[in-house]
A = this chain, B = another copy of it.
Amino acid sequence: MSEINPKIFIVDDDEKFGKSLARLVESIGFDAEVFTSSEEFLQRGAFDEPGCLLLDVRMPGTTGPQLQEEMKNRGISMPIVFLTAHKDVPTGVKAMKDGAVDFLLKPVEEDKLFQAIDNALDKGADLQEADQIRCLLKTLTEREYEILQWIIAGMLNKQIAWHLKITERTVKAHRSQIMHKLGVVSVAELVRLTQKVGISPVKEPVES
C-alpha cells in the first residue's frame, strides 16, 4: 500500500512566504507545491488529486478571489483556504459566501492553519465524490436523465409512463439502465446520489 499524501497547493506572490509555508505543511506530512501567481497555478492543470489550496488575496495579476471565481467557472473543485494580510471584511465575507473553507490573517497561527487544512481536506473528499457522481451522470442519455428526475420524485413507473406517453415496460427498461449506469441497487441510494450533486426532481402538476 503506497500512502498518498494530500497535496497542499500554495499560491502567494511572496515567494519566501510561500516556501516557508510549504516547509511548514511538509513538516506535518503533506506534500506541497508553491506558485507565485494565480496564472502559474491555473496552467499546472491536473487538479484531480486530493488536496487543497492555500491562497493569498492581494497579488499582481489575478487576485485570490478572482482565482476562486475562475476555478468555479472552470469547474475546478478544490477547497480554498485564504491566507492574507489584507484586513478587509467584505473580502473575507464574500470569500466565505463563495465557498471558501476559511479566511485567515497573516501572520497565521499554526493551530488555526492546520485546523483549516483538515477541514479543507474533508471538504475536498466531498467535492471529489460529487465530481465522480457528475461523471457517472454524464453517461446517461437525455431520455434516461429525464426519467431519472421522475424516479427521484418518487413517481411510479406507470405514472412516469403516463407523463411521457410511453409504456410502463419502456420506463422499466430505462430505469434498469439508469440503476446499472449509476451503480446503485435501490431508489434510496439513487436519491442520495442525486442529492449530492443537486439534481432536482420533477414536480408533479397537481390536478384540480
Interface residue ranges, A against B (CB under 8 Å): 87-90, 92-93, 96-97, 102-103, 105, 151-155, 184-192, 195, 201
A81 nearest CB across to chain B (Å): 11
Q: Known A-B contacts: A87-B87, A152-B192. Give 5 more (CB < 8 A).
A: A97-B102, A153-B188, A186-B187, A191-B192, A192-B195
Checking B103, B151, B155 against A93 with a beta-carbon cut-off of 8 angstroms, the contacting residue is B103
CB-CB under 8 A from A96, the residues of chain B are: 93, 96-97
A27 nearest CB across to chain B (Å): 25
CB-CB under 8 A from A93, the residues of chain B are: 92-93, 96, 102-103
A122 nearest CB across to chain B (Å): 14
Residue of B nearest to A188 (CB): B154
What are 5 A-B interface contacts by the 8 Å CB criterion?
A: A89-B103, A93-B93, A97-B102, A154-B184, A188-B201
